[in-house]
Amino acid sequence: MSDWWRGAVIYQIYPRSFQDTDGDGIGDLPGITRRLDHIAALGADAIWISPFFTSPMKDFGYDVSDYCDVDPMFGRLADFDALVARAHDLGLRVMIDLVLSHTSDRHPWFRDSRASRTGARADWYVWADPKPDGTPPNNWLSVFGGSAWAWDARRCQYYLHNFLTSQPDLNLHTPDVQAALLDVARFWLDRGVDGFRLDTINFYFHDRYLRDNPALPPELRNDLIAPGVNPYNHQLHLFSKNQPENLEFLRKFRTVMDRYGAAAVGEVGDAQRGLEIMAEYTSGGDKVQMCYPFELLQPARATAARIADTFARLDRAAPDAWPCWSYSNHDTVRHATRWNLPEAGTAAYATLLMCLRGSVCLYQGEELGLPEAEIAYEDLHDPYGIEFWPEFKGRDGCRTPMVWARDNRQGGFTAADRAWLPVPPAHLARAVDAQAGVAGSLLEHYRAAVALRRAHPMLRDGALSDMAAQGDVLTFRRSGPGEEIFVAANLGPEPAQVALPPGDWQGIGETVGGAAPDGGRVALGAWQLCLAARAPDMGR
């Protein structure tokens, strides 16, 4: 099915923290294979595995030194092949995380590039001469803080790094670089993967003329992409990313994927134009199939008004764009903590996510309601957190090990005395074996919400219309051939009354604790939804 991705529920796995099988305290590919039954039981359509490629792990796999091999800490290529086979047996598609904007400084390509200004790969990375006073060629800043330029004494030039200095940016203006990256995609597609999550998809190209980014007025700054203490927020990143040349490369990438029936979801990292870029990259049917912006990953809670505004902006940008929504991932504070949600609130947002137009990403442990872990400074691994501690504590708090067993101090994650990150004692009570089969548990709620989406195709792929916010209540319709669904979501702690549109509506949300319509109205409790359906030609 070529459009399997439309409305799919994709489960993100952070491999270091999912399941350890060799006793070193670090998760691995055989561990993922062992736990795939849990994901299948959740009802997911696909998995997304964060990077497991050969890497010095300065940024935990997002600094690749070999795109076509598995880092020994995670296993071997044969382990990956076994994972894909088992996933496919369970009906799960497999998506892997490709980091195409940059590599590790230990990648052979970079070693060749820095060795000479005239070698075969001299222009595979972004090199520039200093200004006459020896300072960097322009004012671009790194997401991880400081200048985006690092001096290299071998070439006596600066190289661009939008992230760590050990993550030099590839120069996709060079045709050979594009060809090499497309070959990487083919390598994994030939091994049976069904698609990709494309890291920092809008960072692939830089401005050829290396023009300075303009300053961003204080009133327009936000912390969607970088923490507020990071000077990265002081610029409008007009020239260091989001370049128009990216569109043609994405078309080439789509051509490769289409030959395999594969799909991609791109990460759009932009604090000002994320929605518009996402719409640009996914509209027209000739680039990537879906992207996720940061609107539902932001620090501020996704209120009814914010969600309605997000969909209105998306509709104006490109009605045929296809988003992929998520509340949590490996880079953000877990949303149960970030939004200070009670258990009922976490459940309500889970149901809402399954009702929105677009695809869905769930992050491991989200289905258990895991809160953000408090990590002591001495236990930190994340270079981002170490750099900005204590005002920003980094990303380790959302990357702690998955908890499978409540009666094991490592949560069933590892047989080692210590995991690579500590397992918070508070997480143990939320372990899989403490919630599976338990009526009213958050895990069972997620399973029911995913099942509801599967049972009603309009929730996966129907049109969305009439979205409106009134106070804490968000209302909208999903519709298409054969069915129309009305959704009312109370995203707050106070009861609310909602009038249904005219027609003969029947409640369909009882499996997720939804309120039942009563005549033309519904009484919503705190953090409660109503889902009602009717045939599309009724009541008109």
207 is catalytic: no
- Evaluate whether 348 touches 446 at the Cβ level (below 8 Å): no
- Evaluate whether 367 touches 414 at the Cβ level (below 8 Å): no
Element (H, E) at 463: strand 463-470
> How far is 224 from 234, CA to CA, in rounded Å?
13
Residue 487: is it exposed, middle or buried by C-beta count within 10 angstroms (0-12/13-18/19+)? buried
Can the peptide bond before residue 299 be classed as cis, meaning omega within 30 degrees of 0? no
Q: What are the two backbone dihedrals, phi and then psi, of residue 476, each rounded to the nearest 5 degrees? A: -165, 170
Q: What is the DSSP string of 116-158?
A: -SSSTTTTSB-EEPPPTTS--SS--B-TTSSBSEEEETTTTEE
Q: What are the two backbone dihedrals, phi and then psi, of residue 290, each rounded to the nearest 5 degrees? A: -155, 155
Element (H, E) at 246: helix 246-258
Nearest to 9 by CA among 226, 244, 265, 393: 265
Nearest to 524 by CA among 479, 472, 483: 472
- CB-based burial, 522-540: b 16+ in 10 Å, e otherwise: bebebbbbbbbbbebeeee
Q: What is the CA radius of gyration of the chain?
A: 23
Beta strand pairing status for 157-160 and 195-198? unpaired
Beta strand pairing status for 290-292 and 149-152? unpaired
> How far is 168 from 529, CA to CA, in rounded Å?
47
**Which amino acid is it at 144?**
F
510 is catalytic: no
Say which of 267, 276, 367, 484 is annotated catalytic: 267
Helices (H), 259-399: 274-282, 304-317, 335-338, 343-353, 383-388
The one-character DSSP state at 285 is: G
* Residues making up the chain, counted from first to last: 540
Say which of 28, 59, 169, 199 is annotated catalytic: 199
Name the one residue in this structure whose structure tokens are 């804490």.
472
- Quick one: tokens of 135? 């300072």
Catalytic residues: 199, 267
